[in-house]
Every structure is written in C-alpha cells, then in structure tokens.
Amino acid sequence: MIVDRIVRWARQKSPWIIHFNSGACNACDIEIIASLTPRYDVERLGLQLKGSPRHADVLICSGPVTMQQRERLITIYEQMAEPKFVVAVGTCACSSGVFQGCYCVQGGVDTAIPVDLYIPGCPVKPEAIIDGVTKLIDSMEAKKK
C-alpha cells in the first residue's frame, strides 16, 4: 500500500527516540543529553526526543539492567510500535560494566530485550552516539530495500 510506504519513509527519515536509564551512574545519560543539544545537533539527522514509547522508534538505554528496572524496561519496549530498535549506550548497558556481580544487577540490556546496536565506552562520547545512530538509520534503510 502507498500509505505503508509513506509511513516507512517517514520513519527512516525522522526516527523518534526515547531514552531510558536502567540503573546507570548518569555519566552516559549526560552524554546522551549532550548529543541532543544544539552543539551536536542531531535534529539535523531527523532525530527527535519523545516522552512516550508509543511515539518512539528507537529506544536508547543506558546502564545495567537492575531487578527494579527490568519489568519497566520490558513494558516500555512492548509499548513501542513496530519496527522498533534498541541501542545500548555505554559499557554498563552492553555488559553491566563495573556493576557486574552486584546483587541487584542482572546484566546488560540484552538480558531483558533484544539489542540492535551496541555503543561501548565509559562514558560514551556524543560523537560516538551520533555515529552509532546514523549507522542504525542506514541499516534501517538497507533492510527496507
């Protein structure tokens, strides 16, 4: 259908993101927010931060998955419309990092939901986040063709 192609094109050219902190030390959160500021200007790529998972296409997660946050993370992921993509930002989100072995930490984001892109670092630079998200957008376009 023509409507489906228009919706797919709009999602590829203007992906909306939602940010979720599943238990990070806030260093990666600061870098994620910094990448959204006018200095780095990710809106030129069409990215826009949204407050509701029902409007978002990309879920950006920071921090390891804790027992408290696991169900919330899964609920947010399930509320997103298809196609949805998950980006794990920071070493803690990728593999639980320095929190590995803590009594309340269950592991990286991929222990709770499927992850499409890993961006390691402690903390991750905004340039790396922007580079990773642009590669994700390119892969979205390649999958649709």
pLDDT confidence tier of residue 105, bands split at 50, 70 and 90: confident
Please write the tens of the pLDDT for every residue from 36-46: 888 888 888 77
Prediction pTM value: 0.84
Q: Where are the beta strands (DSSP E) in 8-144?
A: 16-21, 48-49, 58-62, 65-66, 85-89, 105-107, 117-119
CATH topology classification for 16-144: Rossmann fold (3.40.50)
Cα–Cα distance list, 2 to 8, 13, 134, 138 (Å): 10, 17, 26, 22
